[in-house]
Amino acid sequence: MRLKDKVTLITGGAAGIGKATAQVFAREGAKVVICDLNEEAGRALVAELGADAAFYKVNVADRQEVQAWVDDVIARYSRIDVLVNNAGITRDGLFVKMKDGELVKQMEEAAFDSVVAVNLKGVFNCAQAVTPYMIRQGGGVILNVSSVVALYGNFGQTNYVATKAGVIGMTKVWARELGRYGIRVNAVAPGFIATEMVQKMPEKVLEDMKAHTPLGRLGQPEDIANAFLWLASDEAAFVHGATISVDGGIVIGS
């Protein structure tokens, strides 16, 4: 029960890494509050987690929705101990595609803006909403989901990579600014993880992912959830401003 009675907010908590994190944290005694846009899946998960859990439908890109969510959690639970900034989307596409000297296609501005709004501004919105409460209560933990693609780039993901690299940068800034208040801030950079979305990819793509991972398999959502569990616990009390890769060695193997 490493997180007994710790009030934990998890964005994008209805599926994938967020869902696994909610399940692991609940088993370790946390009072889990998830937000997501998938109301059906979110409510089903909360029913599984028990009476101390709660679901909110929140668009993390909307500052007003985020603030209302955080304020309501405080009214209900009186504190927020952990924030896991997990919500994220992809809108992949080539930066520029040329043929015979002519522009054929390029990443659309809307695709860039939507990914930045959720993956980067959403992290900013949620962390900024909880931080004053954490300062008043004397501390807390903020955990941000980055990606190994932020460390080495990835074909067709200019927008996604930009946001995940930005998350690492914000993590380092917040570690400098918030450490004095007893707020620890860290990031996790997952590799290829067998979430519902990834498992729907063609078998050839999945095999290629495994081939580029020295451990020879895709990660499981629980692999990331366990990293978050350690970072949220007192066992990681002196870990601050770090980005931990949980990727089966993929950076080495690329």
What sign results for the dihedral spanned by CA atoms 87, 141, 166, 154?
negative
Separation in Å, CA 59 to CA 35, 42, 79, 123, 138: 8, 13, 21, 11, 28
- Which residue, among 5, 134, 114, 119, has the nearest Cα to 70 in the 3D structure? 134
Q: Residue 228, SS3? A: helix
Active-site positions read 160
Tokens for 229, please give them: 């569990």
Residues 6+ apart with CB under 8 A from 24: 222, 225, 226, 228, 229
With a CB cutoff of 8 Å and minimum separation 6, the contacts of 241 are 171, 172, 175, 176, 179, 185, 186
Q: What share of the chain is helix, strand, coil (3-state, %, to 5)?
A: 50, 20, 30
CB 20 within 8 A of CB 86: no
Cα–Cα distance measured from residue 171 to residue 143, given in angstroms and rounded to the nearest whole number? 8
C-alpha closest to that of 26 among 64, 55, 56:
55
